Amino acid sequence: MIPRYSLPEMAALFTDEARLGMWLEVELLAVEGWAEFGDVPVEAAKEIRERAPAVDGAFVAAVAEREKVTDHDVAAFVDVVQEAVGGPEGSWVHYGLTSSDVVDTALCATLVRAADLLLEASDALVSVLKRRAAELIDTPMAGRTHGMQAEPTTFGAKLALWCLQADRDRSRLGAARRAVAVGKLSGAVGTYSNIDPRVERYVCDALGLEPVPATQVIARDRHAELLYACASVGATVEMIATEVRHLARSEVGEVEEAFGVGQKGSSAMPHKRNPVLSERLVGLARVLRGNLQPALEDVALWHERDISHSSVERVILPDSCLLGYYLLRKAAGLVDGLVVHADRMRATLVEGSLGLVFSQSVLLALVSSGMTRDAAYRVVQRDARVAWEQRRQLRTVLEEDPEVRLGAAALDDAFSLSGALRHVHRFLEALQEVEG
């Protein structure tokens, strides 16, 4: 992922130094596991740990140089580590292991750490959505369906629904973390032919992983589950950002992104305050969603393993974690700083809609007065069209219609904003179960 969309705490997990450092830790733990069960001299294991190389830029460069000869990254890595440790102890490095034992276990340990960051960021998004939902639950606005004004709602209700969805994303991330918190050191084709299962358990316990049955590689449905959780996060953030973009349009003007001191919305038009963050989040969600397809295609490998998944994962796993984390962090900031124009929302709802948003309430009042539903529907539909074309309030048109036999009190009830929103706090009740 390019630096522009990489936040440092997540990016640090996917550097070459971090990757090879995790490989080294798996190798060292494996030697110590062998020593624990009497197959490797304890002193040799101690010497290997003490003489293990520092995984820095020079080490990464040395492995890359060696790989030019081996054309195999793990073999090159083992060669460089054994040379740094020296003999005879260095010969115990990679004892009984196959490459996937090291790579897959190290990768899962890294993905667990990435998932922890994603969950932390998810917590922040849920928290800010919950807080702002409570803050704005009584801020009325026009609800829209098909892009058209429909009935009254509140901005807080909208935020509450976003919060509930973000909380479901958080649950999916938690489940995905559990799915990838596994390891395997069971050798070629996974039958423990040259390694003691107790060594696998020793290494996994040290890394906070659960040893699982596997072929030569850990099953890739686990990795796909994590990428689905990330894609789901992207879809939620895209939903929020798309709504912000719509409501920020000049013709609507009900919300706007926070605008910093010195910020410029356009290089040419000084008046512009474009929803650039929301647009960026929508675009990046597309990239994130696109990574799910190859993750699912990685599940089907030949026999006990091939490496068709390897090149794919070098791209999509770091990028998905980085993008998911970026989207969550930026979405939380977007919601936290969102400027809400409550007066514009109310004006659009009350005056701008000409009262058409109360058409269903009028329909039901007419039905209650004795009209058939179809007849009532036709009357309200006709008067609504008159109101819209003549730019008059629907209530006025209804009052002039001899077919509408509703008194002032009945019309007051039908056009009551508080009546339409009397149950809106149901949304906050649902949020009581949400942690954050």
Q: Name the phi and psi angles at 306, rounded to 5.
A: -145, -170
* Cα–Cα distance, 387 to 378 (Å, whole number): 14
Q: Which of 72, 171, 193, 266 is catalytic?
A: 266
* Cα–Cα distance, 360 to 357 (Å, whole number): 8
Helix (H, G, I), strand (E, B) or coil at 60: helix
Q: What is the DSSP letter of 435?
A: -
Whats the size of the chain, residue-wise? 436
β partners of residue 183: 211
Could you give the angle at the alpha carbon of 97 between the alpha carbons of 95 and 102, nearest 5°? Answer: 120
H-type alpha helices, 208-307: 221-248, 276-290, 292-297
β partners of residue 154: 140
Element (H, E) at 132: helix 99-135
* Cα–Cα distance, 416 to 393 (Å, whole number): 14
Q: Name the phi and psi angles at 44, rounded to 5.
A: -65, -40
Could you give the angle at the alpha carbon of 43 between the alpha carbons of 42 and 46, nearest 5°? Answer: 90
β partners of residue 255: 340
Task: Spell out where 108-249 has E strands.
Answer: 140-145, 148-154, 182-183, 210-211
Per the annotation, the verdict on 146 as an active-site residue is yes
Count of CB atoms situated within 10 Å of the CB of 119: 17
User: Which tokens go with 79?
Assistant: 């060669």
Nearest to 321 by CA among 117, 107, 18: 117
Count of CB atoms situated within 10 Å of the CB of 308: 12
Q: Name the phi and psi angles at 255, rounded to 5.
A: -140, 165
State the number of CA atoms in the 13 A half-sphere of 98 facing the CB: 21
Give Rg (Cα) of the chain: 30
Q: Which of 146, 250, 267, 271 is catalytic?
A: 146
β partners of residue 153: 141
* Cα–Cα distance, 279 to 273 (Å, whole number): 13
Active-site residue list: 146, 266
